[in-house]
Amino acid sequence: MSQSKKIIIAIDGYSSTGKSTLAKHLAKEIGYVYVDTGAMYRAVTYYAMKQGLIDMEHFDKEGLISDLDNIDLRFEFSPELGYAEIFLNDQNVESYIRSIEVSNLVSKVARISQVREKLVEQQQKMALNKGIVMDGRDIGTIVFPQAELKIFMTASAEKRAQRRYKEMKDNGVQIEYDTVLENVTSRDHLDTTRADSPLVKAEDAVEIDNSNMTVEETYALAMGYVKDKLAE
């Protein structure tokens, strides 16, 4: 789709609602840049884990805060995959940041104001020329409150856990469904109750509940919103 008009598309919502999949598809269809902000927080979490700053028993918040200047994040487009992968200090960490260990800790890292400030600043710079699709937890409320199109994704915790469980099993990860469901509900609580930039639907966002929708149906609905906005 060729469009001279450039807008910012902000996609927020709960974990495992298909935000990233939707954002990738939309960006590819309309020729926009896609940015996975969740990958940025996961990469910082992975860094903290590798440095021994965080695990399930302890978290050296001050140590991570003092180390933030040593964390360099960038996205590099992969022609084979059709989307950009994240690099942490010049290392491709795309495959490492999707583990259940990172999933269990990322919300704790994302609660830190200094971490959010650093990443939000980077995210805002990425969209100076618009023409971008960005997904996360606070894109439409904090990062781009001026975004022309805001989509808020939701689905039942059980449906989301089923999707995440299947994805992990398909990738060869040995894990129990109950463990995934516990992770999903725990992240929901942490994301919606944190003091800094909690997960909340922006007043002017359109909501998509895809509990009983296929990926294709979700995409078709969202693309309808995109086309309407570009036609304005």
Known binding-site residues for ATP equal 13-21
CA-based R_g, the chain, Å? 17
Instruction: Please work out, in degrees rounded to the nearest 5, the angle formed at the alpha carbon of residue 224 by the alpha carbons of 219 and 227.
Output: 120
Full strand arrangement of the beta sheet holding 132-136: 33-36, 132-136, 8-13, 149-154, 206-209
Task: Name, in order, each residue with C-beta under 8 angstroms of 52's C-beta and a sequence gap of 6 or more.
Answer: none
Contact between 43 and 97 under an 8 Å Cβ cutoff? The reply is yes
Cα distance between the two ends of the chain: 16
Show binding-site residues. 13-21
| φ/ψ bin of 70: left (φ > 0), alpha (ψ from -120 to 50), beta (otherwise) | alpha
